[in-house]
Chain A
Amino acid sequence: MTGAAGIGPAGGHFTVPVLQLGDVLLVTLQGELHDGMAEQLQQDITDRISHTRVTGVVIDISGVEIVDSFLGRVLAEIAAGAGLLAARTVLAGMRPAVAITLVELGLTLPGLRTALDVERAMELLGAASRPGEGSP
């Protein structure tokens, strides 16, 4: 009921849990995400936002071991798509090794809000959900 399901190219099934908590969609990414799966997720999240009228999306990447330019681009596009549907996106729980690597890769993900963990990401969305507030 709460998953955005995808079928991997090798025939394996992967599920990205997507939970709705009040006004916020909580998306938990874990382990290996195939490219096709990441693109499918982008579409699923956008659909969910438009159907549920959530105002925030938290993407928990604490279980993600690497973010390369492909996944980085998908995350940025999810945030951009959510923004067009009036929802804010916060990336939560990036591992320190991933952050260090992203800086050296040159991928700084401008426009993507981040938080140390899911709890703080929720706070950030709650605190910043006043109508009429623009981007920083």
Chain B
Amino acid sequence: MNKSDLKDYAVVGKPIRRVDGPAKVTGKATYAGDLLLPGTLHGKILRSPYAHARILNIDYSRAMKLHGVRAVVTGRDFPGVRYGFMPQTRDQLPMATDKVKHYGEAVAAVAAIDEDIAEEALDLIDVEYEELTPVLTIDDAMKEGAVIIHDHMDTNIAASSKMHFGDVEKGFKESDYIREEKFTTQRVSIGFIEPHAVIVNVDNSGNVLIQGSKQSPYITWRHFCRAMDLPLGKVRIINPYVGGGFSGKHEALDLDFAAAALSKKTGFPVKIVLSQDEVIAAFKQRHAKHVEIKIGMKKDGTLVACECKMIAEGGAYASVGPFNIVIFATSGLLLPYRMSHFKYEAHRVYTNKPWCGSVRGQSIPIARFAFESLFNMMIDDLGLDQLEVRKKNSILSGESTINKMTVGTAGMVEAIEKLGEMIGWDGRKKKKAPYRGIGIACSPQVSGARMGGHFGSSAVVKVDEDGGVCLIHGGTEIGQGCDTVLAQMAAEVIGVPVEEIRQMEEDSDVAVLEAGMFSSRCTFWAGHAVKRAAEDACQQLAEIAAPLLEASKDDIVFKNKTVFSRKNPGRAIAFIDLVRNAYYTKGQPIYGRGSYSASNIPMPDLKTGEGDVTNAWAFFAQAVEVEVDPETGRVKVLKSVCTRDVGRPINPMLLDAQLEGGTVFTSGQALYEECCFDEKGRPLQNSFLDYKMPTVMEAPENEHFDIITDDPNGPFGAKGAGEGSNGTTLAAIANAVEDAIGVRIKDLPITPEKILAILKQRR
């Protein structure tokens, strides 16, 4: 950020400490697994040892006889209503009834007076299965005569997407250089350190209280009510702190349903905390993808056309798979570069593996990996400069994409320029060390894609009679820092210190729920709602202040806990006195409300891919430097430099941290993480010992720079940004490895074995 970019804000744009920090650093922050209610029973879930099997019979009479067991439930204890994200892909039940479709799927659950007894009882439940042929690969799923996983369907294709803009054949004819490559990416685990946990109480009137580790309590609430056939008002969801989500904690999960059914049966609260073994083996992962991509360009590097075929292997349930394959194209391929012709075909297939949905970055990391890898190769083939070509093709402010997505502000070109400066791009060729490489990649980031359903945000600002401020918003603090960023916005408007703003947990009854924490939407969407709620409260106060200050209410300014007219700043009243006046003299409590719905966005057509999805796009450029050890084949990511146009970061320190984290997270997928299964679909990893994730030893150094574009559509100029580096890191690492060893690896992860095989061949 340049000095001139600093506006005269009191707290917005400042790298202040996070408001949830003191609770978290002292161990006082409460997570779902820490909660207990009087009389709490403990639940455990019996999971399928088969990837695909019919359930012939479940006999739990022996379990019920075990001392301390209070209840057992199976799939038959639920109403049999399927749930899911879209009407056409509602394919999930609370627990398997007649068929299990992946290893680890829940078939029964026990509540007992302690965890050990519940665990022991699982061994006393007899389940008779008839094993079916598991469908494990894209080929298995799509071949002629394939075994069909879902009885209500006649193929294993959960969703498809086809797009064609311009005329791709014509585009390739007009191109001077065309290249086509196939890339494959693997399943990876989400890997949050806090396993899924929930405590549910069902009272005598059937009112359900859910407190769980939920990234998007709204989504859980909706799914839960649908599958349990309950009106929303019967179910209250309250959310404690969440120990990482990364898109793994949106949906209602088997433990939520099981705890509710067990609580209903026993009349006591039931708590279920999964083990990491269960989470890693049987819960959400990132889709494995086969991507065939073809790009046509002019000999000066001008991008002309792109054609892409993608198949996503997504496991037993559709989850957000249908969105995932659309977003792959709209947010992953059609930006940040201009192109005139684009054709896309994608399928999302079912297999008998744990289900996949979105994971940190959604499908953008994979799309950018394929695109930026091939783009990089072609730029090298033509002997052009990697940065110059990227700059030349970058979309500019005010332009639209070929599928009619409008881009308001775009600082992509400036971000690439700055990146070049920061990594000393021009001088690098001369002093390149052996086995060292630098890779570049760019990515767009949507500010919360509007994809249908309830999507609005709302907030309430209550000003207490002693000047305290209570901010009620729907942001879920999953680590991304929404409580801090939203408090900064409210504090800025009201002119009080951030520390004086208190916030509460999301609560479906007495607070508000956000549509969810995904698609980097919270700062943008909830931010607007919070800003408007704070402005509404100030409006109410300004009307009272105006006559006191003999000023027009439109001139009233709230700053440093004082209130004055911008025409006469010398004459001020204390904020607290104004509030007292409102309450005691006027008898008027101050409640501000605000909402944001972005109803101006013409919803994207999921069939054609046409239409806008967001009111603002952020842009990211990243360079990573790697070192390859020729003896072991190991790749070390030494340094990451990220330049970005996020409009205006509300808290640059929190954003830096989130983006650095995104790079660490994604580097695991680039280099070693992979969920593996045996020939029967049983997972080969079920712990952090088998499933290796980046540690401190793998984390690179980081540098950042902000290109301030102050997007007029964003609250305080901000755009959505949190997942930006996930979009760039995979491709940047792949490009850096090629730069280091001179050979391109197109199937992830880029393991030491693959590198050694290449180096050996060369010797």
Q: Do chains A and B interact in one complex?
A: no
